[in-house]
A and B are shown apart, each in its own frame.
Chain A
Amino acid sequence: MQPTNDVVLDRVRTDPQFKELVERRSSLGWILSVIMLVIYFGFILMIAYDKDLLARSLSGGATTIGIPIGLGVILSAFALTAIYVWRANSVFDDLTHRIVERAKQ
């Protein structure tokens, strides 16, 4: 017979691996969020405080330092997203699957 929903929830709650899953996944989420915030607000504050730095020529030509930095912020957003999805969709989802299956038995 299938255990009731309350029983399943209670088993998950007491599963030590559930605690591990939550800690690992949420710490990754928060770390990546903080990195994104630092990159973006670093960029914004650099513009607010030191416009000339970004307007300096990269290597003597018309391209300025601001161009790779701006593109870098865009690429970093994608890269951070990719890191999270890669970890969550493999390691964390496997762990979740094991915890849920165990609780439903």
Chain B
Amino acid sequence: MIHTTFRHARTAFLAAALPAVLTTTAALADTAQVEGKADVNMSAIVMFLIFVLATLGITKWAASRTKSAADFYAAGGGITGFQNGLAIAGDYMSAASFLGISGLVFANGYDGLIYSVGFLVGWPIILFLIAERLRNLGKFTFADVAAFRLDPTPIRLLSALGTLVVVSLYLIAQMVGAGQLIQLLFGLEYWHAVVIVGALMIIYVAFGGMVATTWVQIIKACLLLGGATFMAIMVLAHFGFSPEAMFQKAVELHPKTVADGKAGANPSAIMGPGTFVTDPISAISLGLALMFGTAGLPHILMRFFTVADAKAARKSVLYATGFIGYFYILTFVIGFGAITFLLQNPEFFKPGVTAAANGSYLPADMLGGNNMSAVHLSKAVGGDLFYGFISAVAFATILAVVSGLTLSGASAVSHDLYASVIAKGKASEETEVRISKLSALVIGVIAVCLGILFEKINVAFMVGLAFAVAASCNFPVLLMSTLWKGTTTLGAFVGGLLGLITATVMLVLSPGVWEAALGHPKGSALFQISNPALFSMSIAFGGIWLVSLLDRSARAAKDRAGYEAQFIRSETGIGATGAVAH
């Protein structure tokens, strides 16, 4: 029965994939004629088309292997720890962290490193407190774990809300970033780029499910790590593999270190912390959001259900931490490479801007802004062909991240909202998967529309908000339900919801959104703090604790009584959903 549905799916796949490829090609060819040769990056387009064809081939293969709900949501639990580690890295290393962090290093030096450290330190916490319990208790989504002994209806509603808020914020930010980046790199129209990204991610997710999404992420992680490694080696080789020589040259050239025409007058300006971290409260609040936000990202948590057991789940985190840490060290070298290779070359700066007395341009005057430094560096160290490769990798990077997000959002709708809350567990597997595919389509279309709508809006705050909500709603509910016996349904629901509301309201009323994005006068924001995590996380944890403590309902007694069986399973894996052999 299920098999026939999926055979139909294969035919449908061809019907959907072919037009998408044709539109991509037509759109690319279109621009080639309209814009002339100057702006169109042919080698990038060819390499990107190869990537698209290869991933569509994988999606077709994945569709033929996707037979059950477990295949669709969790790749049948058949991914190895090493593969999952790569896929997690591919899911987490977004174009924003590649281009954004190397751009931050290029413009400010050391401050970029502070940011990347924050994005990395959440991983050990995921391993120590969450990963194996998640694998032992859950099946497809993190709500499975939170609702294990608590009343599924309210807890899944809350988890689905937390998932959809995080996914939509992250997705819109990625879509807008993708449109702007691809416009620059490929010379495509903004809306063409957004539509291409949306169409491809819908195809990957709806037809290939978790298997296709995983392989898109693995391929992208290899391409990105390979490309970044090559760039970092080329930069270091130029300085005889002496970081000191590279730093010296950077200090000599960077506008921030040059005072009164004297090079190196203030070397610490790029070699030490700058203005990025100011008062301790803001610093701690941002640190909390980065660290614990990672542990509450639904698309990341979902990846732990793709491996066979707790052992493989732990290995996934080890590999992922290694790859992501290595990647952040590379972006640091790439940022300094951009300072030393590009700052004095007018080819990479806007026409008409003038250089300082020592021949250096200002990072902000770079063509396409300082976020383009890694892409320009690829041209400086590897020529046009490598430039094309890195541009194609940037596009592939976006696709891998948005696919993971879409799959996670679609799972929250079908597995948590539809199968548990609406159908009360009585839905057939077939219907559930069909709803999931439909949700992927709907989420994709909405993301494309919002991406086009938000083109001119500064969306940088959206990633920050996504992390704050993940840290203040998903993470506290997950942690408290697995680690504290006293957690009750009412407590988790009220505390999680308060965390979500506090994080959102405080962020909207913060300088970054109220003043910078919404255009209110400077100083008018109600909360003069850039990230709400310190407050919203305290409210969420405090709320769960207090409400659970005061909860005297019959349901609360049942919740507490269910803890022991949950605890034994979470520690030993007895009864956990195992791998499905193929």
Residues of A within 8 A of B (CB): 5, 8-9, 12-13, 18, 21-22, 25, 29-30, 32-33, 36, 39-41, 43-45, 47-49, 51-52, 54-57, 61-64, 66-67, 70-71, 73-75, 77-78, 80-82, 84-85, 88-89, 93, 96, 99-100, 103
Contacts and interface: CB of A to CB of B under 8 A. Distances in A.
A93 B575 CA distance: 16
Nearest to B268: A55
A55 B565 CA distance: 53
Given A73-B121, A81-B124, 12 more contacts: A13-B564, A44-B277, A45-B280, A48-B279, A51-B272, A55-B110, A67-B271, A84-B124, A84-B314, A85-B127, A85-B318, A100-B572
Contacts of A81: 123-124, 127, 317-318, 321
A36 B292 CA distance: 12
Nearest to B248: A62
The 6 A-B residue pairs whose C-beta atoms are closest, nearest first, are: A55-B272, A55-B268, A62-B247, A29-B128, A48-B280, A48-B283
A52 B268 contact: yes
Contact of B271 (A12, A33, A55, A84): A55
Contact of B250 (A29, A62, A96): A62
B572 A99 contact: yes
A47 B114 contact: yes
B117 A22 contact: no
21 contacts: A8-B574, A13-B568, A18-B571, A33-B124, A33-B128, A39-B121, A44-B283, A44-B284, A48-B277, A51-B273, A64-B271, A66-B110, A70-B110, A74-B325, A81-B123, A81-B317, A88-B314, A89-B314, A96-B571, A99-B572, A100-B572
Contacts of B110: 54-55, 64, 66-67, 70
The interface size bin for chain B is 35 or more
B287 interface: yes
B573 interface: yes
A78 B311 contact: no
B291 interface: yes
Contact of B325 (A5, A52, A77): A77
A36 B124 contact: yes
A11 to B, nearest CB: 10
A96 B129 CA distance: 18
Interface in B315-363: 315, 317-318, 321-322, 325, 328-329
Nearest to B126: A81
A66 to B, nearest CB: 5
Contacts of A78: 318, 321-322, 325
B17 to A, nearest CB: 39
Contacts of B120: 73-74, 77
A64 B266 CA distance: 12
Given A70-B110, A77-B124, A84-B127, A40 B268 contact: no
Interface of B: 110, 113-114, 116-118, 120-121, 123-125, 127-129, 132, 243-244, 247-248, 250-251, 264, 267-268, 271-274, 277-280, 283-284, 287, 291, 310-311, 314-315, 317-318, 321-322, 325, 328-329, 564-565, 568-569, 571-575
A46 B219 CA distance: 38
B564 A40 contact: no
Given A40-B121, A74-B328, A81-B127, A21 B571 contact: yes
B104 to A, nearest CB: 13
Contacts of B571: 18, 21-22, 25, 96
A55 B287 contact: no
Contact of B287 (A41, A57, A74): A41
B128 A89 contact: no
A24 to B, nearest CB: 11
B268 A43 contact: no
A64 B268 contact: yes
B124 A61 contact: no
Given A32-B128, A33-B124, A81-B318, A73 B117 contact: yes
A100 B279 CA distance: 51
B318 A48 contact: no
